[in-house]
A and B are shown apart, each in its own frame.
Chain A
């Protein structure tokens, strides 16, 4: 009896689904990684100015661009062939070409696996950003971090499972709904940490203006609350929710102690701070957020998402370089490069690298031709992401775009395969990670997804 027939016969129902899942004989994959740190380039980071080297763009610089078919662009008509503003060089034993935008990160190419053939199902920031986060181009679906929380739960009950570190300049397109728990229970919500804000974590402590709340009032108060709730419970035995709510206050108290500790980088060595670029203005913010990410991962947080870039407004504050790519990508790339290289190096030095998947992603890529004179329009047909650490084979380049880096032609794929691979490395079969919503067993990978074996060590 297969799953479908089973459901027909037994009329479905949650028990039926769970049981049907158990009846699938495949064992869960062996977990190679325990946690994920995802770096999200909001606004669409260009592939042909970073990791997807195409000599043809240099050879045919400023000539009319003709890919041999009609090109449908987001805003504009195709301009001339525009080479990368930075010089390309080869790095590492694998000889990977990397543009001059990322000289530090380039030092680690032998640890990194590049996927050059990613495509997106939308050419619009909002839907495409949803897609990379949730697997759907619509709002209302859970993000990968929430799914991982749902699948694997906590490794440290004094800290949340899923943490998001947004860009201090503002929220990315779609705002916090990018890291929504969607229809998954609120237990899987992300905790947002904004280290440069006066209140880095919402409601972690009472507002400073509430002078009547003191350490002593809190200590006695929580004891009194516990006592009162226990007395209430004593007359209502057999309701685990009442007990769970009592326990939630104990967890909250532990979180109040552990969260400030994890955000406090002052006790890190000077060498570490320098490594992450905390001493330079341009790298200080991402450096600090990458360092906090390492501290979170070290303490057992499962999924940390770091955003580079805010919304698509002006002055430019994300990677959406329609107008002046050299300037805007230049600033964002420089802010990112050293901190990310430091994170890779530091994870390795602390023995965390092998169990931590590092995933660099963006909603789509950019066109090989110019938009106007200095910018590039959106390109959802072929762009680059990279992975490193936790079970990933280093020094690999997987899939390819055409000679222009316009279209994925070799092993084209969507984020489904990358999500499937990440889940696989975490020991989760993406087919079996489901949650019923409005009549459908929803998955992070929708009805798609194949584990990319070539990326796995």
Chain B
């Protein structure tokens, strides 16, 4: 049949022809992603159908040819995409309706009616929901979910017997009112902020003042700060709420991620590596902000236009420009709002003086001539050799060291002379004058009470090494292929253009004004991403998977929502009815019959929906690392509920060129050793091996969803880690009978058979060994 394939081709051609290209579904999204970035005004405006139709005759030619003239940024269009455009133009460039927006960008319904259970039932089809779980299961599930802790045996018993028809609702209210709630849910938020207590990279220095931000998150959740305010403060609290010192600590969010100490503090100003360090530091801030609040992967557009979502490179750099005036550094603040106000005014004054002082200092710092360079090299050479020598071991070495030091002193003096001659007296005179002004301000600072500090986004801070504030926002250019050596067009601060109804260019020049504008853009009622993002995130933590199961990616590479109407309804309800109250959102979700279902498997349903995307049952979950550690401590009654303050260093620490963090040498009697895991000092370079094995994420990774693995080394840490063995011993002393131990760990009485087996074992090998084994059981580590 030699003609068979021809026949096939002919059929395929006809299908193609019959299958008319859709403006709404195909052309508009393509143009939005690849063309509109540049062509949104002027003679060629592709942002409207009318504009596109007028440009249609030119369009095909512009995108075909080799190389094609358009698009200028990113890869050429694919052959298939060019064909789409050609066919659409050839068929008359018809408009079959307004461009179809991606689900996450569509407007939210103005109002809608429903309940969670109705939306879930609507998708279940023929499947029946599962019956409600029994009360013992419910209280354990709810307490772990809202507190990250188990209830006590007594609480379980009381709830199981509670005759009040409102017993469940009362339990929910009690749990949400407890400060344990904020500690638990702050941990989820800190995962996406990728909060850590050290900088990361080489020379991983402790970050002593990160914790006020962690405390801010816990307090914000416990006080049920409305979500709009929760977001505003983390991006621009210092600007939008200048009277409130706590709003400044919220901007610790922007600084929560890793920071390259060597890159910032040791590299020379103006070097390629320095510029790259800054670029990547800003990239981390932009990625964190946009992933956390809008669930968009803006960071994919650093080197080229986003390949899948309508985010041109320009939008990404507009977001970099928002943060172009800040670095990560300690910022002083005062609990007394009056002192704080005074300090803010002084800081602004000091920044203004520094703005005049810095160019004069730079004249000295960057003064150069061949002679100066030679001397600088000799001075450095001496430093290197002296450091390398360490403490001299022989008289000859001592003599050599003294010689080097003498030479260095002489070289320094000679260099100073050369620099002075080059810089000139006038500069020094000017410098002296401005420095006197600076001192006046500094003296006023000294007169204020000693401030506290938070590691946050900072526009002004004292210089350390080569790390110094920009004082004014640095210019931001679009970087060709993301390279600092190929700067293109200068951009103004702004955000994504893909959101209908929101302006993507900010009328803001000042550093603070830029951040305030972004905060307001994100929390605008019309920013549909923001409201969808947060309700999906909360849902994810309650059920173990989101309605859209990619909480940080609502783009085309993410997962489409399983229940889109439910997601939209929740977003509108949360924004309008609940006024952004997260506690009300939790209450709504955990009160649903969907949440209260049993987690038991059902063969009939599993055959249709094994992954339970339709939620015909509740998901069973394994405790995460923090809940495991906290639950182990809770079982002994030794859990220390002290809240807030500096993070607890659960390791041996020695400061050095690269500081040493050694978990094996930790003394468990250290005060605070039994506090909740959210107060652990998290070291980026050296994870706590116990937590690490239990899937605690690397704090340098933005983690919207944790992995859960089951490995042999995990079994080993649960069996052998000194922490577990110590706590099992404590537990044995506290609960000396099998019955008492089982009650504390499983929250129930043992069966007769269990009691007999366990007693037999404990009699033979000791009660501490039994307690250790019970802490290793699946019943302890899984939540039904």
- Which A residues have a C-beta under 8 Å from some C-beta of B? 1-2, 4-5, 7-8, 11-14, 72, 74-77, 79, 121-127, 129-130, 137-140, 160, 170-171, 173-177, 180-183, 185-187, 189, 191, 199, 202-207, 210, 212-214, 216-217, 220-221, 224-225, 227-229, 232-233, 236-239, 241-242, 244-246, 248-249, 251-252, 254-256, 311-316, 322-324, 371-375, 436-441
In the complex, which residues of chain B have a beta carbon less than 8 angstroms from the beta carbon of A374?
Answer: 385
Give Cα distance in the complex from A204 to B109, angstroms.
56
Smallest beta-carbon distance A200→chain B, Å: 12
Known: A174-B204, A239-B601, A439-B297. A8 touches B556 (CB 8 A): yes
User: Could you list 6 A-B pairs, sorted by A, with CB under 8 Å?
Assistant: A174-B200, A191-B713, A212-B765, A213-B772, A221-B761, A439-B557
Closest B residue to A328 using CB positions: B388
A124 in contact with B761 (CB, 8 Å): no
Which of B81, B280, B297, B658 is within 8 Å of A312, CB to CB? B658
| B291 / chain A contacts, CB cutoff of 8 Å | 438-439
Chain B residues lying within 8 Å of A216, measured Cβ to Cβ, are: 764-765
**Quick check: is B287 within 8 A (CB to CB) of the other chain?**
yes
Number of A-B contacts (CB under 8 A): 313
B715 A248 Cβ-Cβ under 8 A: yes
Extra inter-chain contacts (4) besides given A122-B276, A126-B203, A241-B782, CB under 8 Å: A186-B707, A221-B773, A252-B712, A439-B299
A232 touches B777 (CB 8 A): yes
Q: Name the A residues within 8 Å of B16 (CB-CB).
A: none
Q: Which of B175-183, B312-320, B374-382, B456-464 contacts A (4 or more CB under 8 A)?
A: B374-382
Give the residue name and chain of the A residue nearest to B204 (CB). A175
Chain A residue with minimal CB distance to B103?
A11
- Surface stretch bound by A, among B343-351, B440-448, B680-688: B680-688
Partner of B757, one of A183, A210, A227, A324: A227
- A312 in contact with B202 (CB, 8 Å): yes
| Contact of B710 (CB < 8 Å), options: A170, A245, A438 | A245
If A232-B779, A248-B715 touch, does A12 touch B558 (CB 8 Å cutoff)?
yes
Closest to B769 in A: A217
From the candidates A170, A176, A238, A322, name the one contacting B384 in the complex (CB within 8 A): A322
Whole-angstrom CA separation of A13 from B559 in the bound complex: 5
Binds A, one of B219-227, B588-596, B717-725: B717-725
Tell me whether A439 and B722 are in contact (CB under 8 A): no
| Chain B residues with a Cβ closer than 8 Å to the other chain, count | 115
Within the complex, the shortest CB–CB distance from A286 to chain B, in Å, comes to: 21
Selected contact of A255 from candidates B29, B377, B559, B712, CB within 8 Å: B712
| Of the residues A4, A371, A437, contact of B307 by C-beta under 8 Å | A4
Instruction: Output the least CB separation between A288 and chain B (Å).
Output: 21
Q: What is the minimal beta-carbon distance from B658 to any residue of chain A, in angstroms?
A: 4
Contacting residue for B272 out of A72, A212, A245, CB 8 A: A72
**Bound Cα distance from A221 to B128, whole angstroms:** 42
Q: Answer yes or no: B778 CB below 8 A from chain A CBs.
A: yes
Known: A232-B778, A239-B620, A311-B658. A12 touches B556 (CB 8 A): yes
Q: How far is the CB of A449 from chain B (nearest CB, A)?
A: 16
In the complex, are the beta carbons of B657 and A76 less than 8 A apart? no
Interface residues of B in 521-572 (CB under 8 A from A): 550, 552-553, 555-560
- Docked CA distance A438–B693 (Å): 22
| Smallest beta-carbon distance A84→chain B, Å | 19
Determine if B87 is an interface residue (Cβ-Cβ < 8 Å): no
Q: In the complex, what residue of chain A is closest to B717 when comparing beta carbons?
A: A203
Residue contact A126 to B202, C-beta cutoff 8 Å = yes
Let me know if A440 and B300 touch, CB within 8 A: yes
- Let me know if A373 and B385 touch, CB within 8 A: yes
B715 touches A236 (CB 8 A): no
The answer to the question of B14 belonging to the interface, with a C-beta cut-off of 8 Å to chain A, is: no
| CB closest residue in chain A, given B774 | A228
Smallest CB separation, A142 vs chain B (Å): 10
Cα distance, A105 to B765, chains bound together (Å):
54
- Whether the pair B601, A213 counts as a contact (CB closer than 8 A) is no
Interfacial residues of chain B within 274-292, with CB under 8 A of chain A in the complex? 276-277, 280, 284, 287, 291
Pairwise interchain contact B559-A248, C-beta atoms closer than 8 A: no
Tell whether, in the assembled complex, residue B716 and residue A204 are in contact, meaning their CB atoms are under 8 Å apart. Answer: yes
The interface-forming segment of B36-44, B257-265, B417-425, B671-679 is B257-265
| Complex-state Cα separation, A324 to B397, whole angstroms | 15
What distance in Å separates the Cβ of A377 from its nearest Cβ neighbour in chain B? Answer: 10
Q: Closest approach, in angstroms, between the C-beta of A10 and any C-beta of chain B?
A: 9
| A177 close to B700 (CB less than 8 A) | yes
Q: How far is the CB of A59 from chain B (nearest CB, A)?
A: 23
Does B701 reach chain A (CB closer than 8 Å)?
Answer: yes
Query: Do the beta carbons of B707 and A79 come within 8 Å of each other?
Result: no
Residue on A nearest B201 in the bound complex, by CB: A126
Q: Which of B694, B712, B764 contacts A248 (CB 8 A)?
A: B712
Say if the beta carbon of B239 comes within 8 Å of chain A: no
Instruction: Please state if A75 and B716 are interface contacts (CB–CB under 8 Å).
Output: no
Distance in Å: Cβ of A436 to nearest Cβ of chain B = 8
- A323-B710 contact given A123-B273, A174-B201, CB 8 Å threshold: no
B267: CB under 8 A from chain A?
yes
Give Cα A186–Cα B696 distance, bound, in whole angstroms. 9
- Chain A residues with Cβ below 8 Å from B689 are 202-203
A137→B258 CA distance, assembly (Å): 12
Partner of A245 from B693, B721, B778 at Cβ < 8 Å: B778
Residues of A within 8 A of B720 (CB): 203-207
Instruction: Tell me whether B260 and A375 are in contact (CB under 8 A).
Output: no
**Taking A175-B685, A229-B777, A314-B657 as contacts, is the C-beta distance between A248 and B725 under 8 angstroms?**
no
A252 to B719, CA, bound (A): 10
* B498 at the binding interface (Cβ < 8 Å): no
B208 on the interface (CB 8 Å rule)?
A: no
B33 to chain A, nearest CB (A): 10
**Complex Cα spacing A72 to B484, Å:** 15
B550's partner among A130, A202, A322, A439 (CB-CB below 8 A) is: A439
**Complex alpha-carbon distance, A313 and B390, angstroms:** 11
Q: 7 closest Cβ contacts across the A-B interface? A: A439-B297, A313-B657, A126-B202, A372-B381, A175-B685, A238-B601, A173-B202
The complex places the Cα of A126 from the Cα of B606 at a distance, in Å, of 48
B427 contacts A by Cβ under 8 Å: no
Q: Let me know if A175 and B686 touch, CB within 8 A.
A: yes
Do A311 and B557 form a contact, CB below 8 Å, given A229-B778, A238-B603, A438-B297?
no
A182 to B258: give the CA distance in the assembly, Å: 14
Closest to B550 in A: A439
A363 to chain B, nearest CB (A): 10
Does chain A have a CB within 8 A of B669? no
How far does the alpha carbon of A438 sit from the alpha carbon of B622 in the complex, in Å? 23
Q: Find out whether the CB atom of A177 lies under 8 angstroms from the CB atom of B200.
A: yes
Q: Point out the residues of chain A lying under 8 angstroms from B761, CB to CB.
A: 220-221, 224
Give A138 to B284 CA distance when docked, in angstroms. Answer: 10
Q: A5-B80, A11-B560, A140-B698 are in contact. Are A311 and B716 (CB under 8 A)?
A: no
**Which chain B residues border A217 with CB–CB below 8 Å?**
764-766, 769
Given A123-B273, A139-B700, also A185-B202 (CB < 8 A): no
- Contact between A248 and B714, CB atoms less than 8 A apart: yes
Partner of A72, one of B271, B555, B779: B271
Interface residue? B82 (CB, 8 A) = no
**Given A140-B698, A203-B689 in contact, is the A439-B552 Cβ separation under 8 Å?**
yes
Residues in chain A near residue B701, CB distance under 8 A:
140, 182-183, 437
A121 to B481, CA, bound (A): 14
Partner of A323, one of B376, B384, B754: B384
Decide if A173 touches B203 in the complex (CB within 8 Å): yes
**Distance A241 CA – B695 CA, assembled complex (angstroms):** 15
Question: Measured between alpha carbons, how far is A182 from B81 in the docked complex, in Å?
Answer: 36
Q: Select from chain B the residue with minimum beta-carbon distance to A242.
A: B778
Contacts of A440 in B (CB 8 A): 297, 300, 557
Known contacts being A126-B202, A204-B720, A372-B385, is A242 close to B782, with CB within 8 Å? yes
Contacts of B560 in A (CB 8 A): 11-13
- Residue contact B757 to A76, C-beta cutoff 8 Å: no
Judge whether B777 and A202 touch: CB under 8 Å. Answer: no
Q: Which of B336-395 contact A (CB under 8 A)?
A: 373, 376-377, 380-382, 384-385, 387-388, 390
